[in-house]
Amino acid sequence: MTRSDPRQNARLSAALSGAVDLSAVKARAEAANRQATAPAADTPDTQWVIDVTEATFQAEVVERSLRTPVIVDLWASWCGPCKQLSPVLERLAEAANGAWILAKVDVDANPRIAQLFGVQSIPTVVAVAGGQPVDAFAGAQPEPQVRQWIGSLLDALRSQMPGIGAAEVEQEPVEEQPEPEDPRFTAAEEAVDQGDFDAAVAAYQRILDEEPANELAKTAMAQVRFLMRASDADPAAIAAADAAPDDLTAQLKAADAELADQRVDEAFARLIRAVRNNFGEDRDRARKQLVELFELFPADDPRVAKARRDLASALF
């Protein structure tokens, strides 16, 4: 477990896939686009950065993305990391000169948009093209990393949206400097290497007490907690849980045993059944363990995407 864990940049595209249904508007929007020689001009000083509300979301994000990629910045005024990330996105949008549009959404004022994308934390950034979410990331990221993400995104979309030209997306290269080691993480990782999971949990908790939005610490904490449980996982727990379907504790232990045995789908399905069959605090116990297990995988893992959808169905 190292600080270069790729889950720090976990993408949400699989979980978001299909969240926006274009079937009712796509034909009308494409017809309108064929009639127009160019999109209507916006105010010159804000033409690449727009504020979007629930009332304007369909036109400004879904329909606009049929012509130009739209990157949605989901933020709130109270969110410290948002204040770091939003100016970076705004600068890059202006520098891109129309290769993509930045749509800013205040989640407090527009909660339905956040719900639509299944947002669990902010800032969350979602790329929309052709009316569908295609990629995303959560948490404040350094500018070089955001540049790289946008560049890769536009490269991938160029074959689908020929109007994206290489010159339009060219941006000033930034030399990445190696990130200095954070001694707080080093101490936690050493504790994990020594098998002292309690010390590792305490170290990560201290980081989260200081920085509640630290995504890397959240992910590392989920990994350590699972390692603690998995070290005691008993394969016999699965049969015991199958024999006692109403015993929630047995179901939670069995899910850990299944995951430790690489039976990912079975573990997810067991916890979703527990969410569906319980109420109150018991339901929340099952939900929390399932969400914690999601953190062990890349967010674009199709098994996670399916389980997130099934969890939403079980809850609502």
Q: Give the pLDDT score at 106.
A: 95
Please give the average per-residue pLDDT across 71-81, as a whole number: 93
Q: Does a structural domain hold residue 174? A: no
210 an active-site residue? no
If you average pLDDT over every residue of the chain, what do you get? 79
The residue from 15, 66, 79, 122 that is catalytic is 79
* Closest to 172 measured CA to CA, from 197, 198, 151, 156: 151
Please give the average per-residue pLDDT across 45-50, as a whole number: 78
Q: Does a structural domain hold residue 220? A: yes
The residue from 12, 61, 74, 82 that is catalytic is 82
| pLDDT > 90? residue 159 | no
Please give the average per-residue pLDDT across 75-86, as a whole number: 92
Strand ranges across the sheet with 132-138: 49-51, 101-106, 70-75, 124-129, 132-138
159 an active-site residue? no
CATH of the domain at 108: 3.40.30.10
Please give the average per-residue pLDDT across 89-96, as a whole number: 92
Domain range for 164: 6-169
* Closest to 289 measured CA to CA, from 235, 246, 240, 230: 230
Q: Are residues 211 and 71 in the same domain?
A: no
End-to-end CA distance of the chain: 35
Examine the fold and report which residue of 121, 140, 169 is the final residue of a domain before the chain moves on. 169
**pLDDT grade for 28, boundaries at 50, 70 and 90:** very low
Q: Does a structural domain hold residue 135? A: yes
CATH of the domain at 251: 1.25.40
| pLDDT > 80? residue 24 | no
Q: Provide the residue type at 227 as one letter.
A: L
Q: Are residues 212 and 283 in the same domain?
A: yes
| DSSP characters over 148-186 | HHHHHHHHHHTTT-TT--HHHH-----PPPPPPP-HHHH
Please give the average per-residue pLDDT across 270-299, as a whole number: 89
Please give the average per-residue pLDDT across 89-109, as a whole number: 93
**pLDDT grade for 103, boundaries at 50, 70 and 90:** very high
**pLDDT grade for 57, boundaries at 50, 70 and 90:** very high
